[in-house]
Amino acid sequence: MTGSHPVLTMTGISKSFPGVRALDNVAFRLFPGEVHALMGENGAGKSTLIKVLTGVYGTDEGTVTLGGEQVSFTGPMQATAAGVSTVYQEVNLCTNLSVAENIFIGREPRRLGAVRWSEMRRRARSLLARLDLDIDVNAQLGSYSLAVQQMVAIARAIDIEARVLVLDEPTSSLDAGEVAQLFRVMRQLRDDGIAILFVTHFLDQVYGIADRITVLRNGQLVGEYATSELPQLGLVEKMIGKELRVLERLDEHPRHDPADRAEGTPLLDARELGRRSAVAPFSLTIHEGEVVGLAGLLGSGRTEVARLLFGADRADHGSVRVHGSPTSLRTPVAAIARGIGFCSENRRAEGVIAELSVRENIILALQAARGWLRPVPRRRQDELVERYVRALSIRPADPDIPVGNLSGGNQQKVLLARWLITEPRLLILDEPTRGIDIGAKTEIQRLVAQLSDGGMAVLFVSAELEEVLRLSHRIAVMRDREMVTQLTNDESVDADRIMQSIAAGAGQEGMPS
Amino acid sequence: MTTLSLMATRTWSRLPRRHVPVLATLVLLLVLYGVGVSQYRAFSNVQVVFNVFIDNGFLLVVAVGMTFVILTGGIDLSVGSVVAMTAMVSAFLLREGLPAALVLLTALLIGPTLGFLMGCVIHFFDIQPFIVTLAGMFLARGMCTFISGSSIPITDGFWTRMSQERIGDPSGNFVSISVLVAFVVVAVAAYTLAYTRLGRNVYAIGGNPQSALLMGLPVGRTRIAVYTISGLCAAIGGILLSFYTLSGAPLIAVGMELDVIAAVVIGGTVLTGGSGYVFGTVLGVLVLGVIQTLITFDGSLNSWWTKIVIGGLLFAFILLQRLIGIRYK
């Protein structure tokens, strides 16, 4: 595997953005026929390194050698032509085109300049058969789920005669079965001699597939290791650069006693709340100081529930009471006025404003609540921003750089800080830890626990059952856009029980034979 | 197993929604035609349909170019002025005594050159197409008045022959050369969009420009190409207009770009890009033409009624697009 020569060598790579040194003298090697995991916390420089490799960014310093020749890609097109294909975390395909076209566009089979549609469909079908994916290649890509779209993206990458395949967090939206399917394909490609660069936040997956691991931290190279020689604990320590005390502390955090919370007038009382074609009517109460977890698979209606409670979508059924008085949460403004805050799952499109500075992003919701005629005094701004930048350890700790220059995890923290300074009574967190490294994840979890101890109610939406179990007093389970059950989180509840709720009945409906 | 579960996650129905707007336009056209036939006896005459084509041939050609631009999610406001400028330049050069072939070539080069330059500005400086083509619109319109403040008649032999040539069937129905030219343009455009890389890239960019770039498609080149194509179509439209009117006038085709955009949208092309067909644009132009004809047949209605009806239809169609969920961004 590690014989002969590396197909790809990157040496002395440095890259800076205004205010951020994203990569500092980083080296990286990739051999043919290996799966190589690139690990690091958010902001460690993984995405930047990949974008340098695939020609999206230029480098400030350093050289990239591919197949023995020095290269300098000025765009993804050249990288692809040279045999470096990339599948990104967010599916970068065109949903308005057909499946077949998404696989082949740019290199369609042609005769005399004319696209040969039937040939294209035939080849698309055989390629997808290799991935065990039986879908209509004529259908618009947008009519399929994200998981299917991800597979189509991989099919596209495989079909290009790739020497290096870069998979940038391809598994973050896939379920276990789909991940297994992906791994099978990856092993097959590896055996064909393709070098695979794999980025993921799931440690299990690294140990399930990777041959070697390169760890980055704060834009610098920590080291390159054989997977078999680096135990999981050691990997985490290398990634976060400190001992695992933080993690242990959270595990010691006692599970709250749920009984004493669920008394008195609930803070929020939704009765038969629903919206046609989004989520079936559900009833949910949240008390002060209570964390209610919302579990369920991707697309089960979790986000829809959160959006209804925040007024981002308008309910067409049922009623809501806040502190016992009936109210209608018709718009986010109404919800904010009643002390409800919402961190969107889609932080790039709906959350942070990339061009504004960290300070401006944090102050935004507070300022909106006060009205524009009463600006927040600068000294108060500085004080608040400094406190939350420190409390959430937002990195880099410079409040004046644009948020767009921060990594995903740090953007998420900025978003969280924005809502925290308005001191909401109910905070809705939609997937606050998705795509975030383990250190930041723990910090956010600990913060949620602290907030609820301080009396804030939290609706915690997450795909990861462990974290829902760890944090919640009660857990509502979603399935097929319906709230199927609500469990009080005591000793009898574990991941298996929730899985059963999610799985129950799923076997019968919607499954073509 | 996973294959099966993936099958089940498909969320949309089988009916391709992107076809719905075009079908709606087709139904609308048939209804309008039906109304005409039932109200006026002479409306069923085949020549009425031919006249719609004759009167709107140049509009159709320009609308085809606009379809390319809108499919990428852009807009081209300069087309009306380019049409006028092309006609104006032709009339001026013919009056100066240049041979018809040379005039034709020159006039046909101006539009695409301006389109190419606007495309370059839009791409390389990353500026909104709206403002760039607005500048192009003023520039071209200004050039018209710069050439001459008043209308220039065309007396050239080739032009008059093109203007008067009738291609007909034995029963006396006929179309003009313009209509044939328009059909050729439509056919070439439809083929380009459906069967060439350029055409497919146009749809991809309209669907998601960021993805298109990451998929390695030549986004910049395609963007520049569509504005060049739109410029070429506007130039051809200008020539056809000068065949039709046998003159060049500085203030002709003012506001035409808006009629063209209306025709494209009524024809089912989505303004945010990525969805639409040339065939739809043909239907959209025909809808506008049939409405005009209906109002002419009525005789008592002011011609502004055309605008009122088009305004109403435009509202109806953009609402339809939103309701059936064509929205990719």
HEC profile of B260-319: HHHHHHHCCCCCCCCCCCHHHHHHHHHHHHHHHHHHHHHCCCCCHHHHHHHHHHHHHHHH
The verdict on residue A510 lying in a domain is: no
Contact call for B206 and A115, based on CB within 8 A? no
pLDDT in tens, A446-487: 888 888 888 889 999 887 777 888 888 899 988 778 888 888
pLDDT higher than threshold 90 for residue A155: no
- Distance between CA A331 and CA A181 in Å, rounded? 42
Give yes or no: residues A318 and A275 share one domain: yes
Give yes or no: residues A317 and A379 share one domain: no
pLDDT, average across residues B203-217:
88
The token pair at B217 is 């498609």
> Nearest-CA residue of chain A relative to B9?
A145
pLDDT higher than threshold 60 for residue A274: yes
Give yes or no: residues A370 and A231 share one domain: no
If residue A294 lies in a helix (H) or strand (E), which one and from where to where? strand A291-295
Check if A278 contacts B (Cβ < 8 Å): no
pLDDT band at A350 (very low <50, low <70, confident <90, very high): low
Contact call for B7 and A134, based on CB within 8 A? yes
Chain B residues with CB inside 8 Å of A299's CB?
A: 9
The verdict on residue A474 lying in a domain is: yes
The verdict on residue A1 lying in a domain is: no
pLDDT band at A508 (very low <50, low <70, confident <90, very high): very low
pLDDT, average across residues A389-399:
81
Q: So what's the pLDDT on residue A176?
A: 72
Check if A180 contacts B (Cβ < 8 Å): yes
**Where is average pLDDT lowest: A202-211, A406-415, B244-253?**
A406-415
Q: So what's the pLDDT on residue A253?
A: 47
Which of A420, A478, A474 is closest to A285 using CA atoms?
A474
Contact call for B4 and A511, based on CB within 8 A? yes
pLDDT higher than threshold 60 for residue A245: no
Contact call for B200 and A105, based on CB within 8 A? yes
pLDDT higher than threshold 60 for residue A136: yes
Of residues B189 and A422, which shows the higher confidence score? B189
Highest mean pLDDT, choosing among A301-310, B22-31, B52-61: B52-61
CB atoms within 10 A of CB A495: 13
Chain B residues with CB inside 8 Å of A108's CB?
A: 197, 200
Q: So what's the pLDDT on residue A113?
A: 85
Mean pLDDT of chain A: 82
- Distance between CA A271 and CA A285 in Å, rounded? 8
Closest Cα of chain A to B221: distance in Å? 13
Of residues A91 and A314, which shows the higher confidence score? A314
Check if A375 contacts B (Cβ < 8 Å): no
pLDDT higher than threshold 60 for residue B19: yes
Q: List the single best residue of A94, A120, A184, A502 to mutate versus B (max B Cβ within 10 A).
A: A94
Q: List the single best residue of A105, A134, A141, A300 to mutate versus B (max B Cβ within 10 A).
A: A105
Q: List the single best residue of B2, B11, B203 to mutate versus A (max A Cβ within 10 A).
A: B2
Check if A135 contacts B (Cβ < 8 Å): yes
Give yes or no: residues A259 and A155 share one domain: no
Q: So what's the pLDDT on residue A183?
A: 86
pLDDT higher than threshold 90 for residue A296: no
The verdict on residue A334 lying in a domain is: yes
> Nearest-CA residue of chain B relative to A134?
B3
The verdict on residue A376 lying in a domain is: yes
In chain B the beta strands, taken as DSSP E runs, fall at: 152-153, 167-168, 174-175, 247-248
pLDDT, average across residues B176-195:
95
pLDDT higher than threshold 60 for residue A345: yes
Q: List the single best residue of B12, B18, B215, B328 to mutate versus A (max A Cβ within 10 A).
A: B215
pLDDT band at B2 (very low <50, low <70, confident <90, very high): very low
Domains and their CATH numbers in chain B? 17-323 (1.10.3470)
The token pair at B309 is 């009806």
pLDDT band at A252 (very low <50, low <70, confident <90, very high): very low
The fraction of chain B above a pLDDT of 90, given in percent, is 67
pLDDT band at B100 (very low <50, low <70, confident <90, very high): very high
Q: Which residues have a Cβ under 8 Å from the Cβ of A58 and sit 6 or more positions away?
A: A52, A72, A74
Give yes or no: residues A256 and A135 share one domain: no
pLDDT, average across residues A166-181:
77
pLDDT band at A393 (very low <50, low <70, confident <90, very high): confident
Q: List the single best residue of B214, B217, B277, B326 to mutate versus A (max A Cβ within 10 A).
A: B214
Give yes or no: residues A161 and A271 share one domain: no
Contact call for B11 and A144, based on CB within 8 A? yes
Domain-terminating residue out of A403, A423, A443:
A423
The verdict on residue A3 lying in a domain is: no
pLDDT band at A236 (very low <50, low <70, confident <90, very high): confident
Of A92, A145, A512, the CB nearest to B215: A92
Domain-terminating residue out of A194, A211, A242:
A242
**What domain count does chain A have?**
3
CA B88 from chain centre, in angstroms, equals 20
Check if A232 contacts B (Cβ < 8 Å): no
> Nearest-CA residue of chain B relative to A133?
B3
pLDDT higher than threshold 90 for residue A169: no
Closest Cα of chain A to B110: distance in Å? 28
Strands in A474-479's sheet, in edge-to-edge order, are: A340-343, A426-430, A457-461, A291-295, A474-479, A482-488
pLDDT band at A499 (very low <50, low <70, confident <90, very high): confident
Chain B residues with CB inside 8 Å of A132's CB?
A: 2-3
Closest Cα of chain B to A298: distance in Å? 11
- Distance between CA A321 and CA A271 in Å, rounded? 8
pLDDT, average across residues A280-305:
85
Give yes or no: residues A334 and A410 share one domain: no
Closest Cα of chain A to B236: distance in Å? 25
Give yes or no: residues A109 and A250 share one domain: no
pLDDT, average across residues B87-91:
96
Give yes or no: residues A249 and A390 share one domain: no
3-state secondary structure (DSSP) of residue A426: strand
Residue whose tokens read 């006929």: B174
pLDDT band at A249 (very low <50, low <70, confident <90, very high): very low
Of A93, A96, A177, the CB nearest to B203: A96
Of A92, A180, A299, the CB nearest to B214: A92
Q: Are B115 and B232 in contact (CB under 8 A)?
A: yes
- Distance between CA A490 and CA B130 in Å, rounded? 60
Q: So what's the pLDDT on residue B37?
A: 92
Residues 49-108 of A with CB under 8 A from B: 56, 75-77, 79-81, 86, 88, 91-97, 101, 105-106, 108
Q: Is B136 exposed, middle or buried (0-12, 13-18, 19+ CB in 10 A)?
A: buried
Q: Which residues have a Cβ under 8 Å from the Cβ of B321 and sit 6 or more positions away?
A: B21, B268, B270, B327
For residue B269, what are the CA distances in angstroms to A332, B32, B123? 33, 20, 22
The fraction of chain A above a pLDDT of 90, given in percent, is 15
pLDDT band at A254 (very low <50, low <70, confident <90, very high): very low
pLDDT higher than threshold 70 for residue A164: yes
pLDDT band at A348 (very low <50, low <70, confident <90, very high): low
Of B191, B213, B274, the CB nearest to A96: B274
The fraction of chain B above a pLDDT of 70, given in percent, is 93
The token pair at A139 is 């259908």
Chain B residues with CB inside 8 Å of A129's CB?
A: none
Tell me which residue range forms the domain holding A38.
8-242
pLDDT, average across residues A155-170:
82
Q: So what's the pLDDT on residue B6?
A: 41
The verdict on residue A511 lying in a domain is: no
pLDDT higher than threshold 80 for residue A55: yes
Chain A residues with CB inside 8 Å of B10's CB?
A: 135, 139, 143-145, 148
Q: So what's the pLDDT on residue A179?
A: 80
pLDDT higher than threshold 70 for residue B7: no
In A323-473 the beta strands, taken as DSSP E runs, fall at: 325-327, 340-343, 426-430, 457-461
pLDDT in tens, A184-220: 888 888 888 889 999 887 777 888 899 999 999 888 8
Of A92, A96, A135, the CB nearest to B275: A96
Q: So what's the pLDDT on residue B83?
A: 97
pLDDT band at A489 (very low <50, low <70, confident <90, very high): confident
Of residues B17 and A471, which shows the higher confidence score? A471
Of B6, B16, B215, the CB nearest to A135: B6
> Nearest-CA residue of chain A relative to B276?
A96
- ipTM for this prediction: 0.83
The verdict on residue A512 lying in a domain is: no
Contact call for B218 and A86, based on CB within 8 A? no
CATH number of domain containing A286: 3.40.50.300
pLDDT, average across residues A225-233:
87
Q: So what's the pLDDT on residue B109?
A: 96
pLDDT band at A133 (very low <50, low <70, confident <90, very high): confident
Domain-terminating residue out of A423, A451, A478:
A423
Q: What angle do CA B69, B70, B71 make, to 5 degrees?
A: 90
Q: So what's the pLDDT on residue A173?
A: 65
pLDDT higher than threshold 90 for residue A99: yes
Closest Cα of chain B to A136: distance in Å? 9
Give yes or no: residues A186 and A69 share one domain: yes
Closest Cα of chain B to A426: distance in Å? 31
The token pair at A49 is 């390194």
Closest Cα of chain A to B60: distance in Å? 25
The fraction of chain A above a pLDDT of 70, given in percent, is 89
Check if A350 contacts B (Cβ < 8 Å): no
pLDDT higher than threshold 80 for residue A369: no
Closest Cα of chain B to A16: distance in Å? 22
Residue A167, beta-bridge partner list: A87, A198
Give yes or no: residues A251 and A117 share one domain: no
CB atoms within 10 A of CB A255: 14
Closest Cα of chain A to B120: distance in Å? 18
Closest Cα of chain A to B196: distance in Å? 5
Chain B residues with CB within 8 Å of chain A CB: 1-12, 14, 16, 18, 191, 194-197, 200-201, 203-204, 206-208, 210-218, 274-275, 328
Chain pair A-B, CB pairs under 8 angstroms:
122
Give yes or no: residues A409 and A265 share one domain: no
